[in-house]
Amino acid sequence: MKIAFIGYGSMARALGARWVGAHEIVISGRNRDKADALAGDLGCASSAEPQGVADADVVVLATSHEAVFDAMDAAGGAEALASKTLLDINNPIDWASGGFIPKTYDGRSLAEAIQDRAPDAHVVKAFNMCQATVWGMDPPHFDGRTLVTMHCGNNDEAKSRIATLIRDTGGEPLDIGGLEYARSLEAAAGLVIKLLFSGRDHHTVLNLIQPEVRPIGT
């Protein structure tokens, strides 16, 4: 697959490092110097926007949640993102409130709001439940168990692509259903973030004992 990251922070670095050997990676963003620097570290390509997403199979929104919609516009907007697998890895935590409850968008998740902004893209929510250092683990095992990575979306082909990328990190994918379940993933991630800020180890996760992987409800 060709994977275009929009953003060059810790998550782009961690995930890009796990995928660069198996996939074609491109780093893009508004700051070309930062994109070039991360691409150089990973040994992959960089590109100016919106060219970076033009022929990508998967576009990873790896900005802060506050910058997601501006980043989508800079990448060419809904037209440029149409038909692509759009991976939302973010958590819209409202730091100003003093708590760790995710911000909602008319009662819905950030992932659903992204889908509204790019209606012809195939949005999948995944990789939001762990800090970047977890994705640097090779493999991500906890007490001898593989990390189960929940993901959700409305398009089966897009979810299959993301399941492949989850396996490429050493994790085990778990399809939890349609994109509406992103509300649950974002809320659960808020709890993990609260634990991290309370002083828990940076590898803190919510993991499942998963003897058999199959979509919920089947």
Q: In the beta sheet, which residues pair with residue 6?
A: 28, 61
55-67 pLDDT, tens digit each:
999 999 999 999 9
Whether pLDDT at 105 is above 60: yes
173 dihedral zone (left: phi>0; alpha: psi -120 to 50; beta):
beta
Whether pLDDT at 79 is above 60: yes
Looking at residue 94, its pLDDT comes to 76
Looking at residue 134, its pLDDT comes to 93
pTM to 2 decimals?
Answer: 0.91
Greater model confidence, 209 or 60: 60
Domain boundaries, the chain: 2-197
* CATH homologous superfamily, domain 2-197: NAD(P)-binding Rossmann-like Domain (3.40.50.720)
SS (H, E, C) 147-165: CEEEEEECCHHHHHHHHHH
9-33 pLDDT, tens digit each:
999 999 999 999 999 999 999 899 9
For residue 36, what are its two tokens?
């070039």
DSSP 103: P
135, 169 contact by CB (below 8 A):
yes
Looking at residue 35, its pLDDT comes to 94
User: How crowded is residue 41: how many other Cβ atoms within 10 Å of its Cβ?
Assistant: 13
Query: How far is residue 40's CA from residue 72's CA, in Å, rounded to a whole number?
Result: 24
149 by Cβ neighbours in 10 Å (0-12 / 13-18 / 19+) ranks as buried
Nearest CA to 61 out of 135, 1, 8 is that of 8
Q: In the structure, what pLDDT confidence band is assigned to residue 216 with cuts at 50, 70 and 90?
A: low
Greater model confidence, 204 or 61: 61
Query: How far is residue 39's CA from residue 47's CA, in Å, rounded to a whole number?
Result: 9
DSSP alpha helix (H) spans, the chain? 10-19, 32-42, 68-74, 77-81, 110-117, 132-135, 156-168, 182-197
Query: How far is residue 98's CA from residue 83's CA, in Å, rounded to a whole number?
Result: 38
146-168 pLDDT, tens digit each:
999 999 999 999 999 999 999 99
For residue 25, what are its two tokens?
């990676």
Collect all residues with Cβ–Cβ distance below 8 Å to 55 and sequence separation of at least 6. Answer: 2
